[in-house]
Amino acid sequence: METILLQSLLQNSYEATEAYRTLKTNVQLLGKHNKVIAVTSVQPGEGKSTVNLNLAAALAEGNNKVLFIDADMRKSVLEGRLKIDKKIMGLSDWLAGICKGKDILYATEVPGLQVIFAGTVPPKPTELLDNEMFGKLIEVSKNAYDYIIIDTPPLGTVIDAAIIAKYCDGMILLVSAGDVSYKEVRKVKKQIEKTNCRLLGYILNKVTSKKKGYYYKNNRY
């Protein structure tokens, strides 16, 4: 299995590390029956993919086996930010029958964390997700991993996250402070409720605290 280095996307400052550990603890307190978790947002650019990847890395710290799936096949940002200069086979390629399952699974420098990238941008990503193959992938993975974190496209712009939700134990909504309105968040919350997938909670991202002190310095998560 090939190894992909994620160091350029993993937040290593003290404040960020502590914030992700707190987020990890909150996820674990939801109970072990919530092991397949999708994270969506209202709109693009809220920092969802970076937060999701760091959450997956934090969960892997406790000797957990974690699978991170980039299911944003429309506009994935991870491969570009990692500056991977070769062809990466990913979720879309496997769902389309172009490659085998072993070809899309990548190890990372984080012990216990493995990644499936989004793959080639398909002409009809919704149709690829809405078939039994994606469901089979999740079912097989549930037997091999302690947690599965799925990065979905923003539910405020496309319906893909609602399709993914039916295969998940729960969903988390990431909200970028000051970038989206209460009305927009409420609309996406209602969309999640329609999927019958449990809304586990919210992540408030890009928060700058005005409080002074060691624990609040430059805290954006």
Residue by residue, pLDDT tens for the chain (221 residues) are 888 888 888 877 888 888 899 999 999 999 989 999 999 999 888 889 999 999 999 999 878 999 999 999 988 888 888 877 788 899 999 999 999 988 999 999 999 999 999 999 999 999 999 888 999 999 999 999 999 999 999 998 889 999 999 999 999 999 988 888 899 999 999 999 999 899 999 998 887 765 443 333 333 43
Q: How far apart are the first and last CA of the chain?
A: 32
**Residues 135/147, Cβ–Cβ less than 8 Å:** no
CA distance 162 to 152: 9
For 20, residues 6+ apart whose C-beta sits below 8 A from its C-beta are 11, 54, 55, 57, 58, 221
